Structure 1
């Protein structure tokens, strides 16, 4: 494929070649819980659940032995776990996991400076190890040192993908390192055609979700190789800027810097939650929507941002005849005012809700601008006060806690914010 008259693979010589490690802690939550109980995380049968007292609670993590011997994995429900004395059930303690994650990052800091570490999630990080060869040896030797140190200090195992950029190190981790005996693998640009292009289904590629995959299928694209050889201008016409990213990622090219966001710029602020139980009362559903609008608006205000597009997703219970809906509405002016977001969500809800039982709700604010783009409205004199009130409420919560000031709906039947504010990462501390 040509780009500006030059074949993409010929551009590899001009692309900076870094040495990036993508490190993933194996069964992190379950392993932390096992070690804290004095169990071997590689051999014990342990499951981490949201709440042991709720049979419908989700399995958040499972040790490799539990997955292998009992077929229980992340996403199963508690009632699906066999009543077997060999199986240990523990509640999630997110504060503990976060504390261990911080200590793991401190261990990485022994090998590279902080600016060379990108914490992608609680259990996954990228390290740029350029310039460390004289201290720690080549990339294989350093990867093995990190593996050994993690096990000696925390009793935790990890897999490590090595690549010339963040993308290839991550894909190498997911598709290769996790399946090798040593749990360490390396990909270079020379491996793109032989290893990356054969990847199918498309969702196995980092950055491609189910919706993008379906759109690519409609274009006749079913493998990464087909994506790499699809006309760039057609992908950009269909996906915009994302089409450009999809194309170059299919060629293994990624210019993201460790320490910077994976995608430059915040493109949306969102919140999604699975309800504690099925909701069939519209009033209760709308109460939760308002609470979530408050959270999303607060996230935008924290970064002095506002959005012009409000998105509402409603997921129905398994007993419903269809899965639900996801719709968006673009308003006249960017906003981070809770009530304006809520009114847009109500409009979408009233238009598309068909009365089915609801189990999942998501709210997002997209089409992002700076907060200074919010315009005054001569016909709405209260808008500046509403905007200022939001920032005041945020300040109170930062100082006195998330539950220090709440909307009345959070105290009414169906409200979930008070309970969720006592959780870390959606689970018990």
Structure 2
């Protein structure tokens, strides 16, 4: 490896040096809204708003021209948009955005296999193009090909960051490529491109609250964070301190997606919450709702599973991070409360008393429900299983919100609201 060791503690030769693309569709919702109306996404002044009937409704996306000329960006409110005839204000069409996002993923698949694609969000993806040089040329060349095809096929502009790992490609995207269109960072660029970054919140994973804590420690640049004693960071921030140190040095061991085994089946649910959840009890409410949904999906296919997985992603204001852990049980299940009990074991063991923004639940190690071993000594378990199927039939007939657990009517609950939404917003 040609990478120089800019930090005497870090030996970059021992870390992955791949060609990872981080692709971001510029102002994706706004761009989709523009092209479906026959407008130029780069020059049109357009805002996508969650609810046109509420003046306090959030701006979900703003076109580049609206940001530049009027200062309106994601997170502004409807009432803040100037009354100007040049500005188009349109409602969100989440189903449309998801359909376009799926088509874009199919485009990526023409360049790399499915296991080399990681969809980070509806408008951002990672691609591992390592080893495709004979087919497409250098990473920069394949990035240009994808960028051109995106424009030709979807009329959507995109920016692409290239790096030796997911973190570096994302940082390259955010700090360079969004201005240049395509940019590449290597380990050699850490000292000159990453370390001068200030304020700290410009770095992926550092929010405003964490930035304030680091500033109070005398850390105002990424370089200062990279050179700060690792043990002191770990003492102050725990596991997060370790992550902060290595990320500031450009090190990321995240794998871009493990290969999927042939015939593997699982049922899962992942949800980005509408707000940060600070209270662990509120997080548990949502986990219960999601266990209900995952169990229903399994029952719909007359399947049951032995392995239950729980994942929590923490708020970016707390350096992001999180965990994803699994536990297997002796008897396959599709009973909601049995899934929930295992999730609570994982929650109690791995949750770090931090703010939660995303929850994932999965049921795997699947077998046919008809083969479930019902115990003569557990008649209540038989009743719970049968009750699940009865509740499913009622929901199928009258809608998902026909039967909801009491937690869904609390402030923390999301199921009642989500029954009418796609991606957290109105579908049409």
The alignment's TM-score, normalised by the length of structure 1, stands at 0.70
Whole-Å separation in 1 of the counterparts to 2:78 and 2:192: 41
Q: What is the CA-CA distance between 1:422 and the residue it aligns to?
A: 0.7
Which residue does the alignment assign to 2:67?
A: 67
Contiguous gaps of at least 5 residues in structure 1: 1-5, 262-268, 276-288, 314-333, 342-361, 372-380
2:288 pairs with one of 286, 290, 297: 297
Which residue does the alignment assign to 1:184?
A: 182
**Preserved contact between residue 50 and residue 57 of structure 2 (Cα < 8 Å):** yes
1:26-85: CA deviation from partner (whole Å, max 9, x where unpaired): 010000000000100011111100111211111111111111111211111111112222
Which residue does the alignment assign to 2:32?
A: 32
Greater mean deviation of Cα atoms: 295-304 or 70-79: 295-304
1:371-402: CA deviation from partner (whole Å, max 9, x where unpaired): 9xxxxxxxxx9x98999799779966996653
Q: How does 1:17-416 map to 2 (within 5 A)?
A: 17-180=17-180, 183-259=181-257, 272-273=273-274, 293-299=284-290, 302=294, 304=308, 336=340, 402-407=400-405
- Aligned pair count? 348
| Distance verdict in 2 for CA 1:97–1:335, change over 3 Å | closer
**Preserved contact between residue 48 and residue 92 of structure 1 (Cα < 8 Å):** yes
Q: Runs in 1 of length 4+ with deviation above 4 angstroms?
A: 269-272, 289-293, 300-303, 362-366, 383-401, 408-417
Greater mean deviation of Cα atoms: 168-177 or 14-23: 14-23
2:421 pairs with one of 420, 423, 428: 423
| Distance verdict in 2 for CA 1:234–1:258, change over 3 Å | same
| Distance verdict in 2 for CA 1:87–1:232, change over 3 Å | same
**Preserved contact between residue 275 and residue 357 of structure 2 (Cα < 8 Å):** no
Which residue does the alignment assign to 1:358?
A: none
Contiguous gaps of at least 5 residues in structure 2: 1-6, 260-269, 295-306, 316-337, 346-354, 365-377
| Distance verdict in 2 for CA 1:365–1:82, change over 3 Å | closer
SS at match of 1:125: strand
SS at match of 1:7: coil
| Distance verdict in 2 for CA 1:113–1:398, change over 3 Å | farther
Alpha-carbon RMSD across the aligned residues, in angstroms, is: 4.2
Q: What is the CA-CA distance between 1:428 and the residue it aligns to?
A: 0.9
Which residue does the alignment assign to 1:348?
A: none
Which residue does the alignment assign to 2:375?
A: none
**Preserved contact between residue 22 and residue 170 of structure 2 (Cα < 8 Å):** yes
Whole-Å separation in 2 of the counterparts to 1:397 and 1:226: 59
The alignment's TM-score, normalised by the length of structure 2, stands at 0.70
Whole-Å separation in 1 of the counterparts to 2:9 and 2:77: 46
Q: What is the CA-CA distance between 1:213 and the residue it aligns to?
A: 2.3
Q: What is the CA-CA distance between 1:169 and the residue it aligns to?
A: 0.5
Whole-Å separation in 1 of the counterparts to 2:390 and 2:127: 38
**Preserved contact between residue 50 and residue 58 of structure 1 (Cα < 8 Å):** yes
Q: What is the CA-CA distance between 1:231 and the residue it aligns to?
A: 1.1
Whole-Å separation in 2 of the counterparts to 1:135 and 1:394: 52
| Distance verdict in 2 for CA 1:272–1:419, change over 3 Å | closer
| Distance verdict in 2 for CA 1:410–1:246, change over 3 Å | closer
Q: What is the CA-CA distance between 1:15 and the residue it aligns to?
A: 2.4
